[in-house]
Structure 1
Amino acid sequence: MNLNEILKLDIKLLVAFITILEEGSVSRAAERLGVTQPALSKSLQRLRETFKDSLFTRQAYGLSPTARAIELSDMIKPILNSLSDLMHPSALNLETLDRKFRIKVNEGDLESFIEPLLAELQYKAPGLRLSLSSNDELNFDDLLSAQTDMSIMHASETPGNIRSKLIGYMDSCVILSETNPLFHQKEVTFEDLLNHRSVTHHLPLNCINSLSVTANKLKNQGYCIEPTLETDSLMVAMQAVKRGMSFFAPRSIGELFLNVISTKPNFYPVRLIPMPKEIIELDEHGGNRPLQICWHERSNNDLAHRWLRERIIYFMRESPWMQVPE
């Protein structure tokens, strides 16, 4: 690539050349380009000097291109078409899309969109592949290093090159099985729950999120917020519930428990109760968890990335467990 030669070229000169060629007249080409005839004549003179050829000869019916001009037009037209394409993003064809997207999302949040998303991908984008893994709260390293394409989490603040959009607020609940002494009580208080064994799923109290802030407020009021079991495994949590532990979880997980347990033999009935009023009153989001979808600035205008994240947002907001912001 000879940069010095390329820098001598002016895109406007190339446009002028093709327009004169198509019109066969400097005056008509000038009118089409919205410039004066003398200005376009100067451009034609520069073209002749650049390509060291007269390019056009005058005939009775107008200008006739030289052999060199015809040769140049075959090379210049594709260049101008390519430059025009640079100004417009390529169209997204879901049917031929062949991409893999890596998403970090916790299991309770995944439950709110994965079923309709997989159904849509099967019919609209069969070549789109997903890699799903659990998310660490407030960890943007994988997004920054391009190891992850998008992340769904509670993120009140993000680095400058990470974009985010609030999806909504995930409802929360407490899951009890019949083996829990509280199962048959009409009303279950916060004190009742604290006095019995409990299990939490993806609820790290050392993270700076709304739930940990609320937990600290409760501790300041003298409550002992220490779950018997913390786990990122739903199988473990399910066994804990079976053995009488109270499970603080997103509503989507509660509904999943109801569906799964109803089909499992030898499993005790399960009941969902609202989050205790003590949590609702102290929590800035009423006991529900705000969820954002986060992605790196580099992917913001990627058509396939944008389509996928917008579909995820849509399905999550359609979920019965999500409160959508106005």
Structure 2
Amino acid sequence: MTEVKLSDVDLNLLYIYLVLIEEKNVTKAASRLKVSQPAVSRSLSRLREVFDDPLFVRNSHGLSTTARTDQLAPQLKEMMEALETLIQPSEFIPEQSTRRFVLSTTDFGSLTVLPKLLEAFRAQAPHAVLEVKSWDESTVSDMGNAEIDLAVAVLSKEPPAGVKGMRLKSDTMVCLARKGNPHITNGILTLEGYLAAPHVQVVLGRRHQYAVDRALTKLGHKREVAVTLPNFVPAAAVVRNSDLLLTVPKLFAQDFAEISPNLEVYDLPFEAKSFDYSMIWHDRYQHDEAHKWFRKIIYEVFEEYKHLYDD
């Protein structure tokens, strides 16, 4: 028997074979397939060539199967059902999912965004897992390795090719200081007080100068950075127990001040550029139904923040 390669077989023949097995009648098979009876007969002839077996024999009612067809029928049915599933649109059912979703963000994102995100995540997908990984400037270039589903961060430059981005919300920088800080005058943070105070600076990645320092440089001023830390939460904790000032995003400052009654939020005494929070993900996830659901939840969390904080 000559070896037959799958590439040489029209897969439509296998579907016709399955219908013939189920109908055991060429006329009924043709009606179900919406083709002519001679077309089904020609397909049966080709199937006999492929399998080197009669496959069916005629009887008074139509067709009866050969031993070879009886052997192949269960495998053929299982295979055709699998192919049907393969070509169907993917469906994501949150309440049944056990998928692990990996979010990359800063500790600021974990403090500010994560509680609201987790509430919606757990309510809709109680069996899924949310894993949070730390973010730095190099993370965006690593998004192609499939270890991160999505990141929420402030981008200093356009994401590389293959990485999608969506603006979520604009924010501004403000200053955190403890109540009674001697550099605050009558409840107002002046430029003189800001420059006289020692500062805590959160250093993310390899960035050496921040927007607030560039703004001060344009005005001919420079602040004193006394402490640098890699995360927002410990930096805010330092300010809570010292006379240092911390310049941070307004979204973080307001949320942290809510859980730290001895901290106050002050507008900066000079103009600094606003910035955007972005949601970024790799192109491979663009049409993934589960990923679309995850992106929608994060987008809705920031829509809620817009309602709460935007003027």
Task: State the TM bucket, normalised to the shorter chain.
Answer: 0.7 to 0.9
- Judge which range, 11-20 or 115-124, deviates more: 115-124
User: Contact between 2:101 and 2:149, CA under 8 Å: does it hold in 1?
Assistant: yes
Paired residue type of 1:157: E
Q: Which position in structure 2 is the counterpart of 1:310? A: 296
Partner Cα distance (2:81, 2:92) in 1: 19
**Closer, same or farther: CA 322–216 of 1 in aligned 2, 3 Å:** farther
Paired residue type of 1:232: P
**Closer, same or farther: CA 4–173 of 1 in aligned 2, 3 Å:** farther
Paired residue type of 2:17: F
Q: Aligned pair 1:228/2:222, yes or no?
A: no
Partner Cα distance (1:220, 1:320) in 2: 31
| Identity value in percent | 26
Q: Which position in structure 2 is the counterpart of 1:113? A: 113
Alignment of 1:133-282 (within 5 A): 133-155=133-155, 156-185=157-186, 187-202=188-203, 206=207, 212=210, 215-216=213-214, 218-224=216-222, 227-233=225-231, 234-262=233-261, 269-279=262-272
Q: TM-score under structure 1 normalisation?
A: 0.78
Q: CA deviation at 1:115?
A: 1.4
Q: Unpaired runs of 5+ in structure 1?
A: 263-268
Paired residue type of 2:281: W
Paired residue type of 1:242: N
Alignment of 1:35-114 (within 5 A): 35-88=35-88, 91-95=91-95, 97-114=97-114
- Judge which range, 245-254 or 80-89, deviates more: 245-254
- Judge which range, 81-90 or 91-100, deviates more: 91-100
Q: CA deviation at 1:83?
A: 0.6
Partner Cα distance (2:138, 2:236) in 1: 23
Partner Cα distance (2:299, 2:131) in 1: 18
Q: CA deviation at 1:162?
A: 2.1
User: Contact between 2:30 and 2:40, CA under 8 Å: does it hold in 1?
Assistant: yes
**Closer, same or farther: CA 321–290 of 1 in aligned 2, 3 Å:** farther
- The alignment's C-alpha RMSD in Å is 3.3
What is the CA deviation profile of residues 51-83 of structure 1, one whole-angstrom value per residue up to 9, with x for unaligned ones? 222223334443443343333222211111101
Partner Cα distance (1:231, 1:259) in 2: 22
User: Contact between 1:168 and 1:323, CA under 8 Å: does it hold in 2?
Assistant: no
Partner Cα distance (1:102, 1:312) in 2: 13
SS at match of 1:158: coil
What is the CA deviation profile of residues 221-273 of structure 1, one whole-angstrom value per residue up to 9, with x for unaligned ones? 423255333323423432234322222112232223323222xxxxxx33212
Q: TM-score under structure 2 normalisation?
A: 0.81
**Closer, same or farther: CA 194–205 of 1 in aligned 2, 3 Å:** farther
User: Contact between 1:138 and 1:154, CA under 8 Å: does it hold in 2?
Assistant: no
Paired residue type of 2:92: L
Paired residue type of 1:82: A
Q: Which position in structure 2 is the counterpart of 1:131? A: 131
Paired residue type of 2:265: L
**Closer, same or farther: CA 177–169 of 1 in aligned 2, 3 Å:** same
